[in-house]
Copies of this chain bind each other. A is one copy, B any other.
């Protein structure tokens, strides 16, 4: 509607009422204007009506939605299915151009705006979440691992002699593969055991740099968010080493935006040393579907180089998801989620403490890990992994997702590298354990159900252990929860490995 259409409307219904409606329209427009002018996440979340109106407005700026358009190219944003068009709000042209994923598309002013605004909003949120020094970032429709690969591929052009990436060990396949895929040789630095925690071995890192020679090292690849008892790397100290030796530093901040501690490490690292880029998952930090990441950094031109390294256009879908999400939440809503997560972490921690004590186990002391917790499974006869394994599959069938049991001595070989004690981030961690995490969006109800089900599973496993024979007893699991009694067949299935690994990317 514009002034002409409003005028026509006034002739049909009372001018006073139409004027009121016109006035109301302006408040929506005002929100859009502020967004475009400031490029910041609005404090208060937008109504669905403002949001959808905005997306419609963007869409009609794309040539595929021009009423008079005629397309004679090979990529015209035509859509065969109305369902598909609708679910993308008719934004079909994706983002970026052949030269640069951040570039503007002549055919698609709306999609281009969407891309710019999303990146701008996301930058604002990263600042707000604890890295005010960040200067540039962009959303890329690839998960964290592939985004790390893109960073490494970009560095290759700046460091043609480099062959190695120095990598404090973290037992997550996609981290490791991100380096392999990029064509580099990961140099694994084993962690130090400090108390219960597995922490960065700074001396080993520096020694390795000296041994290989800085020029042959592409970068240090460190990690913030990780599963306990591993804790975030000593980013600050690593950043200083990198600065000293002139080595790039790429931080895997997978689900670290949700934790002020992880973000603070990055902010400090950049302040006192060198961080070239830090990469975070969209889905894990912003509660959107899997498939996007943010590549961010402190040096505009390097981040642009990465964005120019992506050959061709890309899906706008992850950008659209995060845009909708941030505009719906507003910065207030997002901060509320961060606050609730922190509280949920305390709550989970306390509940696990109580439960574990009841079973003569304990929560590992990992104060540096702000998200993940680990409970020992010593009493489950860790050397015969059967009980640990069984616990894992029991939790799975009882619809506990995301918990993982870590037995001792699991060996995994990837691309020629052998990891002893795989999943535990160490060759010989002292005991088997169970992990649980308090991630963004978790609810009290999740914790309560988990504790209740874990209690029952532990009870069952104990009972079975106490018997000398192997015949499984009837599970006393509460039927009201509507979960089928775990059947023997399933236990023999190698669900274990799947369950254990399903959080590893």
Contacts and interface: CB of A to CB of B under 8 A. Distances in A.
B80 A286 contact: yes
Interface in A487-505: 490, 493, 495, 498-499, 501-505
A4 B19 CA distance: 19
A298 interface: no
A275 to B, nearest CB: 21
A463 to B, nearest CB: 23
B311 A177 contact: yes
B60 A33 contact: no
Given A183-B156, A314-B142, A501-B97, A57 B1 contact: yes
A325 interface: yes
A311 B371 CA distance: 23
Interface string A469-484: 0000000000001111
Given A83-B48, A156-B183, A289 B92 contact: yes
A138 to B, nearest CB: 14
Interface in A374-422: 396-397, 399-404, 415
B33 A8 contact: yes
Given A106-B396, A287-B80, A325-B80, A311 B17 contact: no
A20 interface: yes
A73 B437 contact: yes
Given A75-B503, A329-B80, A437-B73, A94 B291 contact: yes
A17 B109 contact: yes
A141 B501 contact: no
| Identical chains in the assembly | 4
B90 A49 contact: yes
Contact of A498 (B14, B33, B143, B404): B14
Interface in A413-461: 415, 436-442, 445-450, 453
Interface in A206-226: 225
Interface residues of A, number: 182
- Find the residue from A67, A439, A482, A495 having the highest chain B CB count within 10 A: A67
Given A27-B482, A69-B399, A328-B83, A317 B317 contact: yes
Given A13-B104, A25-B60, A73-B439, 10 more contacts: A9-B36, A12-B112, A13-B113, A24-B399, A77-B290, A78-B441, A81-B287, A106-B502, A142-B314, A291-B317
28 contacts: A5-B29, A5-B32, A5-B33, A5-B36, A13-B109, A13-B112, A14-B106, A23-B483, A48-B83, A51-B83, A63-B401, A71-B439, A72-B401, A72-B402, A73-B503, A74-B439, A75-B255, A75-B505, A78-B439, A80-B287, A81-B287, A83-B324, A88-B321, A98-B145, A98-B501, A107-B402, A289-B315, A315-B318
